[in-house]
Amino acid sequence: MATWSAPGKVFLFGEHAVVFGKPGIAMAVKPRVYVTVRKGRHPPRVKSPYIEGCFSEMDVKGSVYVHSQLPSSSGLGSSAAVTVATLSAINDEFDLGRTRADIADMAFAIEKKVQKGRASPTDTYVSSHGGIVLIKEGTKRRLPPQSFNIVIGNTLVSHSTSRMVEMVGSFKQQEPDIVDPILDSIDAVCMTAIHHLSDPKILGRYMDINHALLEALGVSHPTLTRLVMAARAAGAYGAKLTGAGGGGCMIALCPKRSKTRVAGAIEGCDAKAIITTIDTDGARKEHEGKIARKTGR
Ligand code: PMV
């Protein structure tokens, strides 16, 4: 029996713009998905195409137990974390000798297949490696880790990443003179922010600008706007939506002293707050038997 876990992710900067070859900065965050795999004679009985994909890609049979701290379909990369943790547990249980980089590549291939081509390597790379990562046109560079105080606000409004990506694509096609400069500005914000990673006060200001640009692209949602405003009013350095938008989650970068107040302000808007920070481990082995609950993910 082997148990592995993998973290979720947030976008600090650059979502949507990365789809058009611009840079993006993503960070692994602490809520995790835990997966236990045990060798067996039958394929796993699960409803998740991601987990099925992992077993068929590795060409093995066995049972699987999943426990997730990450809400699904909320832009926190839960499907990537499930895929990375499952592949890592299979690799360990069957002694297949795959490296972390192999796991990241395989997880991306599985996500891409399940999501019919609409997946970027961001979620799977960040979940397997942990830390802060700069992504540009398929290349990834790890940036120095920072101990940010982050509050995630989950609107509990489900969203579809592929629909939001499609929407921005047609907006760009119809109004290139308007959309291209917005994407260029997101690029500039992201590349400027890289030089201020150790200064959360400045970084917060850039997050606010990035959020305004995402609003201009039309990917926010009234609840996201409300949470962003509430977080700023409660003392966050900055706040923005994270991921595809149209629902899902926002993040607030906070001074240590105000993270509880910011979380309270978010919960006061009927949303769910998670106080968290960077995860620098990526996929990691857990003590056996940590998982109790079997799910049909
Ligand atoms: O909502 P998420 O976590 O799937 O993030 C989507 C981010 C996009 O930039 C909109 C798309 C992508 O694949 O990078």
Closest atom of ligand 1 relative to the 77 alpha carbon: 3
Bridge partners, residue 154, by sequence: 249, 272
Q: Out of 70, 122, 163, give the residue to mutate to test ligand 1, the one with the largest number of ligand atoms within 8 Å of its CB.
A: 122
244 C-alpha to ligand 1 centroid (Å): 5
- Calculate how far, in angstroms, residue 180's C-alpha sits from the geometric centre of ligand 1: 18
Q: Is the pLDDT at 293 greater than 60, yes or no?
A: no
CA 122 to centroid of ligand 1, rounded, Å: 8
Angle, nearest 10°, between helix axes 78-93 and 122-129?
50
Tell me the pLDDT tens digit for each residue of 232-280: 999 999 999 999 999 999 999 999 999 999 999 999 999 999 999 999 9
What counts of helices (H) and strands (E) characterise the chain? 9, 10
E strands within the chain? 2-13, 24-39, 62-68, 132-136, 139-143, 149-154, 238-242, 249-254, 272-276, 284-285
Number of neighbouring beta carbons within 10 Å of residue 108: 21
What is the CA(15)–ligand 1 centre distance, in A?
Answer: 6
pLDDT tens digits for 127-170? 999 999 999 887 999 999 999 999 999 999 988 888 899 999 99
Tokens of 283: 């996929």
Asked if 279 is an active-site residue, the reply is no
pLDDT digits (tens, 9 = 90+) for 76-125: 999 999 999 999 999 999 999 999 999 999 999 999 899 877 777 899 99
In a 13 Å sphere around the CA of 76, the CA atoms on its Cβ side amount to 30
pLDDT, tens digit, for every residue of 30-70? 999 999 999 999 989 888 999 999 999 999 999 999 999 99
Which of 99, 106, 118 minimizes the C-alpha distance to 56?
Answer: 106
Q: Are the C-beta atoms of 93 and 18 separated by less than 8 Å?
A: no
How many CB atoms are closer than 10 A to CB 214? 25
Query: 114 alpha carbon to ligand 1 midpoint, in Å?
Result: 15
Sketch out the chain's domains with CATH numbers.
2-143 (3.30.230.10), 149-276 (3.30.70.890)
Ligand 1: residue whose CA is nearest its atom 11: 16
Whole-number pLDDT of residue 115:
82
Task: Tell which atom from ligand 1 comes closest to the C-alpha of 122.
Answer: 14
Nearby residues of 195 by Cβ (< 8 Å), 6 or more positions away: none
Is residue 207 within 8 Å of residue 232, measured between CB atoms? no
Which protein residues are within 6 Å of ligand 1, measured from CB? Answer: 15-16, 18-19, 75, 77, 120, 122, 161, 165, 243-244, 248
Give the position, in ligand 1's atom list, of the atom nearest the Cα of 17: 9
Sheet of 149-154, strand order? 238-242, 249-254, 149-154, 272-276
pLDDT at 291 over 70: no
> What is the rounded distance in angstroms from the CA atom of residue 133 to the CA atom of residue 181?
24
Burial readout 154-163 (b: 16 or more C-beta within 10 A, e: otherwise): bbebebebee
pLDDT at 289: 54
**How large is the average pLDDT for residues 210-219?**
98
Please, is 272 exposed, middle or buried when counting C-beta atoms within 10 Å of its C-beta (0-12, 13-18, 19+)?
A: middle
Torsional sign, CA 231, 232, 235, 239: positive
Choosing from 59, 95, 123, 279, which is the catalytic residue?
123
- 8 Å CB contact between 35 and 65: yes
Q: What percent of the chain has pLDDT over 90?
A: 85
